[in-house]
Amino acid sequence: MKRLNSQLQHDGAPLELVLLIRTLLAACKEISFRVSQGALAGVLGSTLSENVQGETQKKLDVISNQILKDILSESGYVKAISSEEEESVVPCSPNGNYLVSFDPLDGSSNTEINSLIGTIFSIAHAPQWMEADDPSAFLQPGTQMVAAGYVLYGPSTMLAMTTGRGTHLYTLDKTHGGFLLTHPNVKIPVQTSEFSINTSNQRHWQEPIQSYVSELLAGSEGPREKDYNMRWVAAMVGDVHRVLCRGGIFMYPFDKRNPQMPGKLRLLYEANPMAFLVEQAGGLASTGSGRIMDVMPEEIHQRVPVIIGSKEEVENCVARFK
């Protein structure tokens, strides 16, 4: 099996980007170890504080964020980082060539039940004319990403990553500590019979999503004339990983409770990196009104609706918004 370095070189990634990815993954391996210790290390449960999103922080949220922040700040490759757990950008090295955005522990509420969680990240070039503490450096569309991925902390620790030359899945071999290529050039099936959405929010959805999900639930007796299965992990990393492995559609749409907040998922460090992975695997990623990766960010914690997955199913859903 190919090692991560070999695949990155095969895909034409420049040396400094390879070194940055290795540095980032060193942090993820440390997080993987902390997660695996669970209650034995006293890392489960909540803190007494909220993050900038207004969400109660889990202990592992804080630990994971600090691990990533420390390692990336000291690497010399990174000009600044943005994180779900940080109110503003964190300046690193003034001469760094890259910007890194991340959700340090997606699905952290799952830690209490020993279910799927993960780290999501995206990497872009740093504008050299901007100061390291300038948030506007991050206001680039997803099309400007040079790499994106996630590390899934499950029964095995897996990495999904793209540098724009296909999406590859790697598995952490704990015998030597490296990520090995186990699923090269994954391709999402064009058609699917699985969908993923939090149906407890159904009463708040816009009509196009209401209509679409109602058709799926009607099954073989409905207009789609086939039965669908619903799957919901409550962690984007888990739901998107399933889409990459066997197809499906994942949705976290806009709902009407707060018109000022057009979705739950953050553009820079959740929607964009997942959209990059899914598109490179032959799927589609939309907000309902356009391609996710074409959205021009207005601020680092901007939220967007998300509809991603198998091409035909995403097209069918999005067509209802026109």
> Which residues line the annotated binding site for substrate?
106-109, 198, 264
Q: Cα(176)–Cα(171) distance, rounded to whole angstroms? A: 12
| Residues placed in the known binding site for Mg(2+) | 84, 103, 105-106, 270
DSSP 8-state symbol, 310: S
The amino acid that residue 80 corresponds to is A
Half-sphere exposure of 94 (CA within 13 A, CB side): 1
| Residues placed in the known binding site | 84, 103, 105-109, 198, 264, 270
DSSP 8-state symbol, 126: P
Give strand pairing partners of 183.
169
The amino acid that residue 310 corresponds to is S
- What are the distances in angstroms from CA 238 to CA 95, 151, 320? 35, 10, 27
16: left (phi over 0), alpha (psi -120 to 50) or beta: alpha
- What are the distances in angstroms from CA 279 to CA 165, 272, 314? 11, 10, 12
Q: Provide the token pair at 53.
A: 């999103």
Tokens 């959205």 -> residue: 295
Half-sphere exposure of 239 (CA within 13 A, CB side): 26
